[in-house]
Structure 1
Amino acid sequence: MKLNRRKFIVSSSVLAGSLSMGAFPSWSLPSKTNQKVRIGIVGGRFGATFQFHEHPDCVVEAVSDLRQDRRDHLMKTYGCSKSYPSLEKLLEDPGVDAVFLATPAPDHAAHTLASLKAGKHVLCAVPLAMNLEECEQVKEAVLSSGKTYMMAETTTYMQGTISAKKFYKEGKFGEIFSAAAEYNHPGLEVLWFENGAPTWRHGLPPMHYPTHCTAFLISVTGERLKKVSCMGWGNGDGLLKDNPYENPFWNETAFFQTNRNHPFRVEVNWKGALRNAERGEWRGEKMSLYLPSGHANLATMVTAAEQLGKDDAGFEHTDNKVTAYEFPQWWKTDMLPEKMRHNSGHDGSHTFITHEFIRSILEERLPEVNIYEALAYTVPGIVAHQSALKGGELLSIPDYDD
């Protein structure tokens, strides 16, 4: 399991097999074993929104949450009769092969390390970790454990992103020379306090939660983000005051340079007159694709054309073709087991995450959002926030692929 990214690409068929894109993969490809993955679900809110109980190769063995009411909710959701009051207790169960960590973001690194040490495969909610030291620790633990690690990034499996992957693999974009993404969640501060006490979300730097944006580019083209200049907005007053992250910003906008010298703009916004959005834009020499705000099913496609037109001032210009594009509902296809072919959370992504994690274990391969991709999604945001604290200073982003 001691692999760098280059060796991974050569030795694993995950990219060629799951994203060959001439035709999408079918769930019915035979696995190497008839064994079922016995999973433990940790976290009774987000953890209750997945479909492990519907997967033909999985059994929900146990659930866990610190609160009894949430444990009861998990048991009811997954038809599971075994529960534990803590992750620590669940990890002692020899009947659990893998865990899904739907726990608070600041705990992800520690919980992942504990789970790997206990010999469990790990699916963890985003982000990977909160700082660069934790990122390095998780990487080393994953590579030395021999266990499967996957980050549950929903953007990678949104229906529009799957369509963009297909277009990219087919060469429809040509070269994607620039891209942009935004994650707008205005009013997030309502989750900052519960029963008068602050939650882990209180003052979380926007760029410490970048993966819903970075995945739009990285999962499609495989590019790595190498440099960043980031600006923040906010004065540290109001609910931001005295937050544990010492974060003064409500919103952050980052300008990245990729390893292919392409620009990539990312916005993560918690406050303002904004539409809720998790959306991406890919701008290519032959075609561009713009996802809608929200999880609508109608995008905008621009195709390069030969004919000329005139703008409103009478000047000639290339009259590119602009059309509405209704992307397929990929969850209806044989990319998923039949019982899982229904819409699910975050634009249909939850069933895909569930399926990819289970099959990667049984097929003894790295999952699509493996440790290298998780680092590529997460680390640029951590560095971007550092840049914002320094007034937009251009900073280099560490490379974890080797």
Structure 2
Amino acid sequence: MSRRNFIVKNAMLAGTAIITPSLMAIEPSLKKIRIGIVGGRFGSSFHWHEHPNCIVEAVSDLVPERRNRLKEVYKCSKSYPSLEEMVKDKNIDAIAVFTEGPNHVKHTIECMKHGKHVISAVPACWGSVAEAELLLETVKKYGLTYMMAETSYYQQHTISARKMYEKGEFGNLYYCESEYQHDGLENLYIVDGERTWRYGMAPMHYPTHCTAHLVSVTGERLTEVVCNGWGDDSPYLKDNVYNNPFWNESAHFKTSKGNAFKVNVWWKGAHLGLERASWNGTNMSFYCDNRRSGAALVKKTKELGKDDAGFVQSKPKLENYDQPEWWKTDMLPEPLRHDSGHHGSHTFITHEFIDALLNERKPTVDIYEALAYTVPGIIAHESALKGGTLLKIPQFG
């Protein structure tokens, strides 16, 4: 046994290994990650079977029709009736957990107890800081790779904003705002006459599509929040397991750099139904496509003019922004260079998780990033329940 294999083997016995035995001492280009997928709705919209270094070993869903859907999409003949059965499969290196939101932590624990790396759908945890602490404790305990499949990290406009920020084009990026509008979500509240886990859920318990727009670009953490909610007399808000009285929640966050970040998560109203953001800096601002107008850049100039009252005002330069399709580039392996769900993000998420395992590195949205996106929403909802009280947000790293 080589010294490296000896170290890895002992790390595994100690519960601190990062990779599974089947991946030891194999060149990344030759490794094959054997993944199991649980959750036949959202879980069927990714591209594991197209990645040159990934094999879909098995699939699982409690509902036979959804299980068969997974088998069909991923061309996989092996299936299990439950996650609890699938985690016992010793051929599986990692599991993609696309189950109900309130079960993500429980299912991540079950997977890691059996030595499986995990990629989980959002949010990382559900509704409490205690769950966040438990998830972090679990990842630390087992030393396995955890990634959250946050789509906003890899939306085409977010990739652009990140590149602009890294080049310093914004100057001082002092403000950002993000909206997630999803009117009609209540159509998923009842299925086959039964309430689903979504029934009456709090908007800010599902914040990551927005929070990723800032945190993934600048690395800032959200430290304080004031949030207000709006609801009506809907029976969905009068009787739900979350005791949530709101359809819509609007939060104003303070960041670790002292900047402002506005977030709206709205489930009801005359909305365009979108995920959009803007990033505002001292030299340049970037507004992504909002379905009313295309993406645009606003650049500061030295030219002066006057406003409609005759006062001196600087004249900004407005430019249309031709949004690159980053999924067409060498950011992805050739088989994954095609458009995919949530603004082209699904192929990126697929590749990032597999590549992180291949190269034994942290994924972009690791446990600390996942909690930095998720926990601020939990505290924001608490603020809304308290009538907009200013609350501190716990930090996890």
**TM-score normalised by the chain length of structure 1:** 0.90
Measure how far apart 1:293 and its partner are. Answer: 2.3
Measure how far apart 1:314 and its partner are. Answer: 2.9
Cα distance in structure 1, aligned partners of 2:51 and 2:362: 19
Cα distance in structure 2, aligned partners of 1:32 and 1:206: 40
Query: Can you give the 5+ residue segments of structure 1 that lack an aligned partner in the other structure?
Result: 1-29
1:155 match: 152
2:35 match: secondary structure: strand
1:174 aligns with 2:171: yes
**Which amino acid in structure 2 is aligned with residue 347 of structure 1?**
H
2:8 match: none
1:255 aligns with 2:252: yes
Measure how far apart 1:323 and its partner are. Answer: 1.4
Matched residues, number: 371
1:20 match: none
1:182 match: secondary structure: strand
1:275 match: secondary structure: coil
Deviations along 1:160-189, one digit per CA (max 9) or x if unpaired, are 000000000000001111110000001111
Cα distance in structure 1, aligned partners of 2:210 and 2:32: 33
**Higher RCO (CA 8 Å, separation ≥ 6 residues):** 1
Cα distance in structure 2, aligned partners of 1:32 and 1:192: 43
1:25 match: none
Q: 1:92 to 1:266 in 2, by over 3 A?
A: same
Asked whether the 8 Å contact 1:209–1:381 carries over to 2, the reply is yes
Of the three residues 274, 277, 297, the one matched with 1:277 is 274
Measure how far apart 1:239 and its partner are. Answer: 2.4
Of the three residues 363, 366, 389, the one matched with 1:367 is 363
Measure how far apart 1:237 and its partner are. Answer: 3.3
Cα distance in structure 2, aligned partners of 1:81 and 1:288: 50
2:10 match: none
The Cα RMSD (Å) is: 1.4
**Which amino acid in structure 2 is aligned with residue 98 of structure 1?**
A
1:42 match: 38
2:101 match: 105
1:298 match: secondary structure: coil
Of the three residues 216, 220, 228, the one matched with 2:217 is 220
**Which amino acid in structure 2 is aligned with residue 368 of structure 1?**
T
1:351 match: 347
Asked whether the 8 Å contact 2:29–2:53 carries over to 1, the reply is no
1:313 aligns with 2:317: no
1:89 match: secondary structure: helix
Cα distance in structure 1, aligned partners of 2:180 and 2:356: 28
1:241 aligns with 2:242: no
2:137 match: secondary structure: helix
Of the three residues 272, 278, 298, the one matched with 1:302 is 298
Cα distance in structure 1, aligned partners of 2:57 and 2:191: 30
**Which amino acid in structure 2 is aligned with residue 287 of structure 1?**
M
1:144 aligns with 2:141: yes
**Which amino acid in structure 2 is aligned with residue 255 of structure 1?**
H
Measure how far apart 1:238 and its partner are. Answer: 2.8
Measure how far apart 1:300 and its partner are. Answer: 1.5
1:325 aligns with 2:302: no
1:391 match: 387
Deviations along 1:229-280, one digit per CA (max 9) or x if unpaired, are 1000014533222111000000000010001000100000000111111011
**TM-score normalised by the chain length of structure 2:** 0.91
Query: Can you give the 5+ residue segments of structure 2 that lack an aligned partner in the other structure?
Result: 1-25
Cα distance in structure 2, aligned partners of 1:263 and 1:159: 23
**Which amino acid in structure 2 is aligned with residue 277 of structure 1?**
L
